[in-house]
Homo-oligomer: A and B are copies of this chain.
Amino acid sequence: MLYLVGLGLADETDITVKGLEVVKRAERVYLEAYTSILLVSKEKLEAFYGRPVIEADRELVETGSDEILAGADKADVAFLVVGDPFGATTHTDLVLRAREMGIESKVIPNASIMSGIGCTGLQLYNFGQTVSMVFFTENWKPTSYYDRVKENVQLGLHTLVLLDIKVKEQSYENMARGRRIFEPPRYMTVAQCASQMLETEEERKEGVFGPDSLAVGAARVGGPDQKLVVGTLKELSEVDMGPPLHSLVLLGRKAHDLERLYIREFAVDKATFDASWNKGYGATS
């Protein structure tokens, strides 16, 4: 049996009791370690589980799935995923591959940022499509996310923006020369995301959002030092929210008063918050 086990969002104790039982009795345990991270190290997980864990990087998962699945028709193999196994990142291809090989699979769900973002006090019912923001480079500033945000904005809905992480990335030079030397990991911050959004708006000029648009920055959701900051995109582009992981929610126009009441507490500046709110939010249709 292949078990896909969600680890939740913050630390080793966010695994479910059911998930922990699976991890303890499985023959091999893999940790998916490239689409998201916990706030604790692999060593801490191993100490908590009382057993070794095999780190599964993108290469292993995407090209070495047969290695992961080897023997899973007879013994139990656990594949650990930060958040929920079918949350922000889906591992449907691994399950499909298992199905082809006649191996059963089972999912142990857990909190995902897609639902955990409810900690902002924003109603999950009022969210439209979730989008991802990648690190812009000099020559590559993809704006396809902007079209989907536009669709949400036109409907008055909130948009959850998931922020890029770069783990085990190679420089072009090292890749070209086949050297397995990796760059230090990078995690996009709320400030970087807000800046990139304003940069896109500058370029596209369709008025989807602007410096006065309200957004919520969330850092280390579910962790002991979870932090929420509410402000305009201009304000958030200058905010320091500390260590990763960060996410951002662009507030929809149809945000209602209970949501306002909840998030105002976290405003960088309550005066600019109130001014921006009164200009464009709280519409009932």
**A interface with B by C-beta (< 8 Å):** 6, 8-9, 11-18, 20-21, 84-88, 90, 92-93, 95-96, 99, 107-112, 114-116, 118-119, 121, 123-132, 151, 155, 157, 221-222, 258-259, 261-262, 265
CA distance A130 to B157 in the complex (A): 11
Q: List 17 A-B contacts (CB under 8 A).
A: A6-B111, A9-B109, A13-B17, A13-B21, A14-B17, A15-B16, A86-B116, A86-B119, A95-B121, A96-B258, A109-B111, A109-B115, A109-B221, A110-B110, A112-B124, A125-B129, A151-B155
The 9 closest A-B pairs by CB, nearest first: A86-B118, A109-B111, A112-B115, A13-B18, A13-B17, A115-B115, A109-B116, A114-B115, A109-B222
In the bound complex, what is the Cα–Cα distance between A109 and B127 (angstroms)? 18
How many chain copies does the complex carry? 2
B119 in contact with A130 (CB, 8 Å): no
Q: A109-B119, A115-B87 are contacts. A261–B124 as well, Cβ < 8 Å? A: no
With beta carbons under 8 angstroms apart, the residue of B14, B93, B108, B124 that contacts A258 is B93
CB of B114 within 8 A of CB of A124, answer yes
Distance between A9 CB and nearest chain B CB, rounded to angstroms: 6
A231 to B84, CA, bound (A): 26
Nearest-neighbour CB distance to chain B for A36, whole angstroms, equals 13
- Whether B129 and A127, one on each chain, are in contact in the complex, defined by CB atoms closer than 8 angstroms, is yes
